[in-house]
Each structure stands twice: as structure tokens, then as C-alpha cells.
């Protein structure tokens, strides 16, 4: 009899230690990145690192501005392209579409969410880059096709499954009664969707968008394959850019020979971890609160 | 009244157009990979390792990458399961203090959102510190980091869905927490847990950024944990980066292989989920 309880408490201890281990792992990631970025933070003022665009590792100049601007711009393009379509699609699926069709699309979207980013990148190289090349020629701004716009298009496609599936989940959590009362008052289906359902789940929809944003911000391989990787601040959609994740991926192997280079790249990782971590944490907290509250009203 | 109707149909049209655009784009991706990959796919792609001059268009295949990818993601899955099963149970209120559980959930959310390139950079620094070179072991460790939050959070979600009454009945019969966990909760949650594992496995096998520096790349199948290892995503990435068109076509074929593996994982996880759920008490 006692043996059972002994086993029970042993299990309790090991189960708890797994939690501690996970927290320690996360702490280790942050700590290592902080320690490793310290040398560059000690020798270069933060404002110069973030707002200078002179990137000459050999001369000891590390200005991250082109990379930061590149990351923000490509993410912004992706969101502008993706968000309206995704929201409209999600509203249609949740409010108008037949249940069977909805389930079918949900299945397809789940599968697409699992497709590796290198495959999206490959499709970008095959299809998007030549398309942007042609488009640039037609519009009179010559481009190789490896550009900000190509990166934005690929990212827009990649974040679509995330935004659509989370938004659908959020919309589905709005109680049926809310819709019924609006319809009973004579509102059309669209008015009900727009003024009742969407309004009630606005926080959740924003969280879905932020999750998509976070995914786009940290995406590496797919973007790297199509964006051209030139460290200049892009002025047009057809210019190449060089986002932070691509910077890390492209230079990591050979950084050891140049002083402070590794520190600079780990500082770049720290920026990514910080921004993406904060965004996705905020979105997740919002979503789990909304799901718990059951959404009603305000 | 008429304008309201008009708005309704306008937006309905907009929504249908959006959905059509989204779905065709996504279907287009699978279509492109199929059309481009299928002609280049040969049996020797699947079963041979690269021969001399492979990257100049000569013979051989990418068996090294297929096997390497499976080694990497199976290894990482096993470690992740060992860590995440107890953690998923620990997040239930029977085991951990509520504050610790909530804090860990936050940690896991941050880890979930962390871009895989950050894990790659982190893993590489740690490996250098311990004097490890790019190797199977390094790749497995980094992939574990990537898969762990996905697994724990989705397992926890499943476990939380189990009706409270089941646990109460088990406790009322005098079972300990451990006995309840293993014979009631685990059994009930098994289909969901399998799905969670396969979801994480799919993520792991498709990720390129995290193993770019930590697993390395090689033309051989690794014989020990300390050998570098090839992987499918990187095989696609490197082959498309070569100037020769023949090798680029092999990138399409490699992508097709990767896609098929992911689709199989997806389908199997759904089927298993459905099959197990027959035996579940509702």
C-alpha cells in the first residue's frame, strides 16, 4: 500500500521538475543571447546600433538600420496583402459557408499550415520572382525580381493559414444567440457579421493578426530565398532588402574570424526574440482570456 | 433598403473572391511542387547518396538527406515526448502550483513564438562552448527546443478537455494521482497526444533555419551522433542555390519528397486521432 504512495510522490517530483527544466531552458536562451550580445552593447551605443545604416563588420561598424527597416517593410507588405483577404475569407467561412464546406476548408488550411517554409521559398523562386520581374518591367522599374515585393507576397501566403484558422476559431466562439437576436431585429446577414460577430470578437481578431505578424517577422528561409539580400534601405517595392533573420542565417558560419561579428549577430537574434516573443505572448494571452470568458458582449 | 441589400451582396462577392484567391494560391503551391517535382523524381533520387559531381548534375540521389531528416526529427521527437508528457501533466492543477503553471504557460508561449533562426543561433553558441561541431546531436537538441513548446501546449490542450468527472470517479475509487494519470487521463488523451506529437514532428522535419548551422550538411549518412547530417529542407535550399538547372530540378524533386512526408504525417495523425477516439468515454 505504501509503495503506491511512494511512487505517487516520486512521479510528482519528476513531473514538477520537467516544468522547472522548461523554464530554465527558456532562461538559458535569453541569458546566452544577452551575455553574447554584451560585448557589442558595451562598445557601441545602442542608438548607433539601431539607427545607423553603416554596416562594415571589418571596420567594426555595425548599423542595423537597413536590416531592421527591411524586416519591418517586408512584414508590413505581407500584412497589407494578407490581412483583408484573410479576414474576409474567415468571416465568409464562419458566417455564410455551409458546414461541410467549412470543415473541408479547415482541413486544407491545417495541412497548409504544416507546409515547410523552404517549400514556400521554392515556390517563390519559381513563380513569384519571375512575376515580380515582369511586373517591374511593365511598370518601368527594372528589377531582378528578388525584391521586397516578392518577400512580401511569399510571407502573405505563409501567414494566411495562421490568420484564417485563428480568426475562424475566434468567430466560432461568439454565441449563436447574439446572431439570432440581430437577425430577428431585421439586420442582414452581413450586418450581423459586421456589427455583432466581428465587433464582439475584435480583440481576438487583432490577436490573430498579431500572431500572423509575429510569424512573418521571424520567418527566415522563405524570405531569404526571394528577397535579394542587399544591405541597403529599400526605397521602392522592387528593391532588394535584407531582413534580420536572413542576416543571421547568411553570415553565421563565417562570423568567427571578425571581432564582434558574432556578438552583433547574436544581438540581432536578441532583437528578434524580444520583439516576436512580446508580440506572440500578448496575442496568446488575449486569445486564452477571450476563450475563457466565452466572449459575450463587450 | 435596397442599398443595404446591395452592401450585402457586395461584401458577399468580396468575401468569395478573397476566399477563392487564398485557396487557389495555396492549391497553386502544391500544384507547382507536383508539376515541377514529379518529372525530376527518380528512384535513384530516393535510394542513392550523392555521387562525385552530384552538384554539377551527375548521378546520385538524396538518400542522405531523407535519412538525415528522419534521424533528426525522430530523435528530437523522442526527447520532446519524454520532456513534454510530464510537463503537460504538470500544467494541470493536480500537480503544480497555479502560479508556476501559469508562468510556465507564458514561457511556453514565448518559446512557441521564437523564430527558429534564433534557436539555431543559440544552439550554435552553446555547441561551440561545449566544443561540439555541427552534428546530428546538435541538430536534435535544437529541433527539440523548437518542438517542445508545440508539443507541450497541444498536449495540455487535449488533457484539459477531459471531463472532470472521470478524474473524480478515479479518485473516489481510491486511485492515487499517478494511477489516475496513467490509467485514466493518459488513455483518454492518447489520440490527442499522438496528434500533438505528429504536429510537432511535421514542424521539426520541415524546419531549415534552426539546423542550418547546428546539423551541418554532408553527402553521407551519419554513423554516430557526432557526425554532421544532411536534411531535406537544406537539400532543397542548397540545390536551388546552385547555378546548374539539372541540380535545381532535383531541388523540386526533393521538395516533393518533403511535401509527401508532411502530407503523410498529416493524414496519419488525422486517421489515428479518429481511430483512437472510438474507445473514448464521452
Q: What is the largest CA-CA distance in chain B?
A: 75
Selected residue of A9, A221, A242 to mutate for chain B interface (largest B Cβ count, 10 A): A221
State CA A110 to chain mean position distance: 17
Per residue in B159-189, pLDDT tens?
Answer: 888 888 888 888 888 888 888 888 888 888 8
What are the residues facing A228 on neighbouring strands?
A241
Whether B171 contacts chain A with CB within 8 A:
no
- Please provide residue A28's backbone torsions phi and psi, each rounded to the nearest 5 degrees: -60, -40
In A, which residues are within 8 Å of B266 by CB distance? 110-111, 114
Cβ atoms within 10 Å, residue A106: 15
pLDDT given at position A68: 92
Q: Give A298's pLDDT tier (boundaries 50, 70, 90).
A: very low
Distance CA B117, CA A250 (A): 11
Helix %, strand %, coil % for chain B, to 5?
75, 0, 25
pLDDT given at position B139: 93
The answer to whether the Cα torsion of A169, A175, A176, A180 is positive or negative is: negative
Share of chain B above pLDDT 70, in %: 95
Cβ atoms within 10 Å, residue B15: 23
Spatial CA neighbour of A174 closest among A145, A149, A203, A153: A203
DSSP 8-state symbol, A59:
G
Buried-exposed string A148-162: b where 16+ CB fall within 10 A, e elsewhere? bbbbbbbbbbbbbbb
What are the residues facing A55 on neighbouring strands?
A62
Per residue in B183-220, pLDDT tens?
Answer: 888 888 888 888 899 989 999 999 998 998 888 888 88
Ranges of H-type helices in A53-175? 65-91, 99-113, 117-123, 129-138, 148-172
E strand segments, B109-258: none
Inspect the interface and report whether the beta carbons of A22 and B91 lie closer than 8 Å.
no
Distance CA B251, CA B232 (A): 9
Contact B215, B161 (CB under 8 A): no
Buried-exposed string B95-110: b where 16+ CB fall within 10 A, e elsewhere? bbeeebbeebbebbbb
Among B89-98, B125-134, B234-243, name the one with the lowest average pLDDT. B89-98
Distance CA A187, CA A168 (A): 22
Distance CA A52, CA A62 (A): 8
Residue corresponding to grid cell 507588405 = A77
pLDDT given at position A131: 93
Question: In the structure grid, which three cell numbers stand for residue A173, read together?
Answer: 466562439
Contacts of B40-43 with CB under 8 Å at 24 or more apart are: B40/B249, B40/B250, B40/B252, B40/B253, B41/B253, B41/B256, B41/B257, B42/B253
Distance CA B86, CA B226 (A): 28
Among A202-206, B70-74, B224-228, name the one with the lowest average pLDDT. B224-228
Contact B87, A22 (CB under 8 A): yes
Query: What is chain B's Cα-based Rg?
Result: 23
- Please provide residue A140's backbone torsions phi and psi, each rounded to the nearest 5 degrees: 75, 20
Whether B244 contacts chain A with CB within 8 A:
no
Inspect the interface and report whether the beta carbons of A88 and B36 lie closer than 8 Å.
no
Inspect the interface and report whether the beta carbons of A29 and B113 lie closer than 8 Å.
no
pTM for the model stands at: 0.89
pLDDT given at position A256: 66
Query: What is chain A's Cα-based Rg?
Result: 23
Per residue in A144-164, pLDDT tens?
Answer: 889 999 999 999 999 999 999
Q: Measured between alpha carbons, how far is residue A243 from residues A89, A147, A237, B172 in Å?
A: 29, 11, 14, 58
Which 37-76 residues of chain B touch chain A by CB within 8 A?
none
Question: In the structure grid, which three cell numbers stand for residue B160, read together?
Answer: 484539459
Spatial CA neighbour of A74 closest among A147, A1, A174: A147
Contacts of B43-48 with CB under 8 Å at 24 or more apart are: B45/B250, B45/B253, B45/B254, B45/B257, B46/B257
Summarize the confidence of residues B41-69 as an average pLDDT: 80
What are the residues facing A56 on neighbouring strands?
A61
Contact B52, A133 (CB under 8 A): no
Q: Give B281's pLDDT tier (boundaries 50, 70, 90).
A: low
Distance CA A277, CA B112 (A): 8
Distance CA A13, CA A234 (A): 54
CA atoms within 13 A on the CB side of A43: 14
Summarize the confidence of residues B126-143 as an average pLDDT: 89
Whether B217 contacts chain A with CB within 8 A:
no
Minimum-distance CB partner of A281 among B32, B83, B113: B113
Whether A280 contacts chain B with CB within 8 A:
yes
Residue corresponding to grid cell 488513455 = B187
ipTM of the complex in this document: 0.89
Minimum-distance CB partner of A96 among B15, B108, B121: B15
Interior CA angle at B93 toward B270 and A168, to 5°?
40
Spatial CA neighbour of A243 closest among A253, A232, A259: A232
Q: Give A168's pLDDT tier (boundaries 50, 70, 90).
A: very high
Distance CA A189, CA A182 (A): 9
Q: Measured between alpha carbons, how far is residue A288 from residues A106, A215, B111 in Å?
A: 21, 18, 16
3-state SS assignment for residue A55:
strand
What are the residues facing A62 on neighbouring strands?
A55
**In sequence order, what are the residues at sequence separation of 6 or more whose Cβ sits closer than 8 angstroms to the Cβ of residue B270?**
A107, B195
Amino acid at each position: 500500500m505504501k509503495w503506491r504512495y511512494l511512487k505517487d510522490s516520486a512521479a510528482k517530483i519528476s513531473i514538477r521538475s520537467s516544468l522547472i527544466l522548461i523554464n530554465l531552458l527558456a532562461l538559458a536562451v535569453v541569458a546566452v543571447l544577452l551575455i553574447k550580445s554584451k560585448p557589442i552593447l558595451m562598445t557601441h551605443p545602442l542608438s548607433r546600433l539601431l539607427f545607423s545604416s553603416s554596416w562594415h563588420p571589418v571596420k567594426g561598424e555595425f548599423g542595423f538600420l537597413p536590416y531592421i527597416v527591411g524586416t519591418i517593410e517586408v512584414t508590413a507588405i505581407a500584412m497589407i496583402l494578407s490581412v483583408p483577404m484573410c479576414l474576409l475569407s474567415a468571416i465568409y467561412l464562419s458566417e455564410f459557408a455551409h458546414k461541410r464546406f467549412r470543415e473541408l476548408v479547415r482541413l486544407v488550411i491545417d495541412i497548409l499550415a504544416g507546409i515547410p517554409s523552404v517549400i514556400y521559398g521554392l515556390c517563390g523562386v519559381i513563380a513569384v520572382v519571375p512575376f515580380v520581374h515582369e511586373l517591374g518591367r511593365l511598370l518601368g522599374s527594372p528589377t531582378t525580381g528578388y525584391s521586397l515585393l516578392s518577400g512580401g507576397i511569399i510571407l502573405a501566403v505563409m501567414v494566411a493559414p495562421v490568420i484564417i484558422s485563428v480568426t475562424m476559431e475566434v468567430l466560432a466562439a461568439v454565441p449563436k444567440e447574439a446572431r439570432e437576436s440581430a437577425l430577428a431585429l431585421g439586420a442582414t446577414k452581413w450586418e450581423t457579421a459586421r456589427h455583432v460577430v466581428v465587433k464582439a470578437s475584435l480583440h481576438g481578431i487583432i490577436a490573430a493578426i498579431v500572431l500572423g505578424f509575429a510569424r512573418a517577422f521571424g520567418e527566415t528561409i522563405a524570405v531569404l530565398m526571394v528577397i535579394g539580400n542587399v544591405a541597403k534601405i529599400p526605397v521602392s517595392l522592387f528593391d532588394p532588402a535584407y531582413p534580420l533573420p536572413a542576416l543571421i542565417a547568411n553570415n553565421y558560419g563565417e562570423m568567427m574570424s571578425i571581432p564582434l561579428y558574432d556578438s552583433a549577430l547574436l544581438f540581432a537574434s536578441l532583437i528578434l526574440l524580444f520583439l516576436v516573443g512580446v508580440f506572440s505572448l500578448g496575442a496568446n494571452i488575449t486569445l486564452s482570456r477571450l476563450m475563457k470568458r466565452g466572449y459575450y458582449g463587450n | 433598403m435596397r442599398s443595404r441589400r446591395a452592401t450585402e451582396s457586395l461584401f458577399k462577392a468580396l468575401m468569395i473572391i478573397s476566399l477563392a484567391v487564398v485557396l487557389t494560391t495555396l492549391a497553386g503551391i502544391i500544384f507547382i511542387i507536383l508539376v515541377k517535382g514529379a518529372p525530376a523524381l527518380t528512384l535513384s533520387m530516393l535510394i542513392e547518396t550523392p555521387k562525385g559531381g552530384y552538384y554539377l548534375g551527375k548521378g546520385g540521389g538524396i538518400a542522405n538527406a531523407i535519412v538525415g531528416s528522419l534521424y533528426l526529427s525522430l530523435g528530437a521527437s523522442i526527447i520532446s515526448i519524454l520532456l513534454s508528457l510530464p510537463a503537460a501533466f504538470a500544467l494541470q492543477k493536480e500537480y503544480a502550483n497555479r502560479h508556476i503553471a501559469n508562468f510556465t504557460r507564458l514561457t511556453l508561449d514565448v518559446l512557441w513564438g521564437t523564430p527558429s533562426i534564433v534557436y539555431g543561433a543559440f544552439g550554435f553558441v552553446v555547441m561551440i562552448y561545449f566544443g561540439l561541431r555541427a552534428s546530428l546531436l546538435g541538430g536534435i537538441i535544437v529541433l527539440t527546443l523548437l518542438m517542445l513548446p508545440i508539443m507541450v501546449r497541444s498536449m495540455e490542450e487535449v488533457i484539459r478537455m477531459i471531463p472532470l468527472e472521470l478524474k473524480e470517479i478515479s479518485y473516489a475509487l481510491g486511485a492515487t494521482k499517478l494511477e489516475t494519470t496513467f490509467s485514466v487521463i493518459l488513455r483518454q488523451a492518447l489520440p490527442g497526444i499522438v496528434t500533438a506529437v505528429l504536429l510537432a514532428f511535421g514542424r521539426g522535419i520541415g524546419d531549415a533555419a534552426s539546423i542550418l548551422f547546428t546539423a551541418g550538411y554532408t553527402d553521407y549518412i551519419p554513423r554516430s551522433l557526432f557526425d554532421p547530417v544532411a536534411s531535406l529542407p537544406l537539400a532543397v535550399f542548397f540545390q536551388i542555390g546552385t547555378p546548374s538547372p539539372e541540380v535545381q530540378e532535383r531541388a523540386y524533386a526533393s521538395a516533393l519528397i518533403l511535401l509527401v512526408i508532411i502530407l503523410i504525417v498529416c493524414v496519419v495523425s488525422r486517421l489515428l486521432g479518429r481511430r483512437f477516439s472510438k474507445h473514448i468515454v464521452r
